[in-house]
């Protein structure tokens, strides 16, 4: 029996290689809390006397070993051990368990049922061939049952085994079982894209219909859980799709060897095949395929290889090597389905990082087309996505990437969304298709440059970005600053928060989503002003650090000057020139920054102004001194 330490040292591929003659089935167990997932896995291992390899967590390699020899595992000890993982906090990860029978080898993604761990369930489902969805016979079909079912369908799982568990608690009632199957079938028929749903009445605790047929359900004539898993035929989609290999490592020419290393994501290739490099479209032929064991004539999905080419073409980490006869698409705008995984809501207009295979790009989320209600599958209007919600929206990237639609190639059509500030994964997405405008809109090269416009004005263009609470003094300082700059012969433009909302942004309110869109639009306008050679002064509360960082990225680093007007909230309220704070305190103005909506102060602004110590005139002089220096 192999142990975790051996699996770590020899790699999972080596373990699977020892069972190459057997077919591999990947499945996931999912469902609501306490539906019996760990108990079912424990019973399957115990009853079928599988060759059980100790569990290997996807992110933790120190999993507790369960049992002794593979054929002598005590069932109670096994289940207690599996349940203990939950108590030890390992539920934050997906636990992948590896085992085999005489007929087949298995990888099961054991995921927690808690709603806050839906992200883990989605991760496990993304590589599964079959989903075992457990339902507590006493509880019936729950919201989490529907959510998990929708997610497995969304990520491409086509076969569902519906395990109606704890049937012993309802006296093995055929009527209860039939009602649950009917309820689930009604939901699935209208909502899910599945090839088959197979229902089995079980008691995971007592072993009924898990491995052996139960005498307590004489009315059930179908297969047991293990019979289903042993007999189900599953197509290997990754091998059937065109050849794709994301480049993870490039051996540079000065090393004496120029090869491109990566894990083949889909399809197969052989020496002499023509390939196309994405993005860019350069083509060549494969000269050799190299692995640790030596050169191979061909390789296929799931193998890590180094490829050398017959031509000297530029290849970098993040590029995709694809077959030239069926290449990837390339685009920078897509329609996508997104599962949100963060406690902080998804806000359209905010920038995140997209990571797809080895490719990464800056991602801007567009307005939501709709949110999907997992209970009714209705398409509902929404401005944001909350934790575990699913929606459809357009996304745009700062550069073109190689892709296939998720429907055609799950590896090339999937991506994760990463928060730019915390670096946490906050969502997962599936590409439906590239937007037509992505192909039809091209950047037009202009002969008159930003540099020539600035030279004409005899100045260096700048974006002076004022941020601070309402009433802090931003607009007053900005107004004086522009007059002083003009008196020095500088060409300027001021964009003020209130003034912009009378025209360009008059359609926006003050929700978090609208505030993000407000700053996005202003940032793009300010970029145009800087490109025209102007010194652009902006005065906006701009409460979120993420959006201020986004605007900074639109211009050159030495062109952006963040001015934090650091006036305490109590002082702003005392001033309250517009009477806004009083209205906010009385509840007349919702989403008011500093009262009912947060303000994230800059951590390292270029200039910090304390208006309790400096007048607006002195503050303007301080900024001019900074620019002059």
Residues 6+ apart with CB under 8 A from 171: none
Report the SS3 class of residue 547.
helix
Separation of CA 451 from chain center: 39
Determine how many CB atoms are found less than 10 A away from the CB of residue 327.
20
User: Does a cis peptide bond (omega within 30 degrees of 0) precede residue 279?
Assistant: yes
Residues 6+ apart with CB under 8 A from 533: 450, 453, 454, 455, 456, 457, 459, 461, 491
Residues 6+ apart with CB under 8 A from 304: 13, 261, 262, 263, 264, 291
Separation of CA 393 from chain center: 14
Determine how many CB atoms are found less than 10 A away from the CB of residue 528.
12
Distance CA 489, CA 111 (A): 66
Distance CA 22, CA 24 (A): 6
Please confirm, yes or no, whether 542 is among the known catalytic residues. Answer: yes
Dihedral (Cα; 331, 332, 334, 338), 10-degree rounding? 130
Q: Of residues 100, 438, 475, 542, which has the active-site annotation?
A: 542
Distance CA 79, CA 572 (A): 60
Report the candidate in 425, 411, 405 with the shortest Cα–Cα distance to residue 363. 425
Determine how many CB atoms are found less than 10 A away from the CB of residue 294.
7
Distance CA 435, CA 428 (A): 19
Distance CA 244, CA 357 (A): 11
Q: Is the distance from CB of 35 to CB of 132 less than 8 angstroms?
A: no
Distance CA 520, CA 443 (A): 20
Report the SS3 class of residue 121.
helix
DSSP characters over 202-255 = -BTTTTBTTSS--TT-TT--S--HHHHHHH-----HHHHSPPEEE--EE--GGG
Residues 6+ apart with CB under 8 A from 354: 360, 361, 362, 363, 395, 397, 401, 415, 416, 417, 418, 429
- Cβ burial of 9 (10 Å; 0-12, 13-18, 19+) is exposed
Distance CA 75, CA 79 (A): 6
Q: Is the distance from CB of 133 to CB of 149 less than 8 angstroms?
A: yes
Report the candidate in 317, 325, 303 with the shortest Cα–Cα distance to residue 355. 317
Q: Is the distance from CB of 558 to CB of 548 less than 8 angstroms?
A: no
Annotated catalytic sites, by residue? 542
């Amino acid at each position: 029996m192999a142990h975790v330490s051996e699996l770590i040292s020899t790699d999972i591929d080596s373990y699977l290689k020892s069972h190459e003659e057997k077919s591999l089935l990947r499945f996931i167990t999912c469902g609501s809390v306490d539906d019996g997932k760990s108990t079912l896995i424990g019973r399957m291992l115990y009853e079928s006397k599988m060759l059980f390899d100790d569990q290997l967590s996807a992110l933790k390699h120190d999993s507790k070993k369960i049992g002794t020899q593979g054929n002598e595992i005590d069932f109670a000890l096994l289940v207690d051990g599996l349940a203990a993982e939950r108590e030890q906090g390992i539920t934050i990860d997906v636990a992948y368990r590896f085992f085999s029978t005489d007929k087949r080898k298995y990888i099961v993604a054991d995921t927690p049922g808690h709603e806050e761990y839906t992200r883990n369930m989605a991760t496990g489902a993304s590589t599964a061939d079959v989903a075992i969805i457990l339902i507590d016979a006493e509880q019936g079909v729950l919201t989490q049952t529907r959510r998990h079912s929708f997610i497995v369908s969304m990520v491409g799982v086509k076969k569902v085994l519906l395990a109606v568990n704890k049937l012993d608690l309802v006296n093995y009632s055929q009527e209860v079982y039939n009602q649950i199957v009917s309820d689930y079938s009604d939901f699935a028929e209208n909502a899910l894209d599945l090839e088959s749903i197979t229902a089995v009445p079980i008691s995971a605790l007592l072993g009924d219909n898990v491995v052996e047929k139960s005498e307590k359900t004489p009315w059930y004539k179908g297969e047991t859980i293990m019979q289903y898993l042993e007999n189900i035929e599953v197509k290997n989609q990754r091998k059937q799709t065109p050849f794709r290999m994301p480049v993870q490592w490039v051996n540079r020419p000065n090393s004496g060897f120029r090869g491109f290393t990566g894990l083949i994501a889909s399809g197969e290739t052989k020496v002499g095949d023509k390939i196309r490099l994405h993005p860019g479209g350069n083509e060549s032929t494969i000269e050799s395929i190299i692995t640790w064991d030596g050169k191979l004539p061909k390789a296929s999905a799931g193998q890590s290889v180094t490829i050398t080419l017959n031509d000297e073409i530029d290849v970098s980490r993040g590029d995709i090597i694809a077959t030239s006869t069926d290449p990837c698409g390339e685009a920078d705008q897509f329609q996508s389905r997104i599962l949100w995984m963060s406690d902080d809501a998804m806000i359209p207009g905010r920038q995140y990082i997209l990571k797809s295979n080895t490719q990464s790009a800056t991602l801007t989320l567009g307005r939501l087309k709709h949110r999907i209600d997992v209970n009714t599958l209705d398409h509902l209007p929404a401005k944001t996505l909350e934790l575990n919600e699913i929606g459809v929206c357009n996304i745009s990237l700062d550069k073109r990437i190689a892709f296939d639609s998720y429907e055609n190639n799950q590896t090339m059509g999937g991506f994760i969304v990463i928060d730019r500030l915390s670096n946490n994964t906050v969502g997962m997405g599936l590409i439906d298709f590239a937007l037509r405008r992505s192909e039809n809109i091209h950047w037009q090269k202009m002969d008159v440059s930003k540099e020539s416009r600035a030279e004409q004005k005899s100045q260096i263009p700048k974006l002076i970005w004022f941020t601070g609470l309402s009433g802090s003094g931003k607009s007053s300082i900005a107004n004086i600053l522009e007059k002083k700059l003009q008196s020095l012969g500088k060409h300027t433009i001021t964009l003020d928060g209130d003034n912009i909302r009378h025209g360009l942004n008059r359609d926006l309110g003050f929700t978090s989503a609208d505030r993000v869109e407000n700053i996005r639009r202003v940032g793009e306008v300010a970029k145009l002003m800087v490109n025209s050679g102007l010194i652009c002064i902006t005065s906006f509360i701009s409460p979120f650090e993420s959006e201020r960082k986004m605007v900074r990225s639109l211009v050159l680093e030495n062109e952006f000057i963040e001015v934090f007007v650091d006036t305490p909230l109590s002082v702003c309220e005392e001033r309250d020139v517009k009477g806004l704070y009083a209205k906010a305190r009385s509840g007349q103005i919702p989403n008011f920054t500093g009262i009912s909506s947060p303000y994230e102060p800059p951590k390292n602004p270029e200039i910090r102004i304390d208006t309790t110590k400096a007048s607006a005139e002195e503050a303007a002089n301080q900024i001019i001194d900074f620019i002059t220096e």
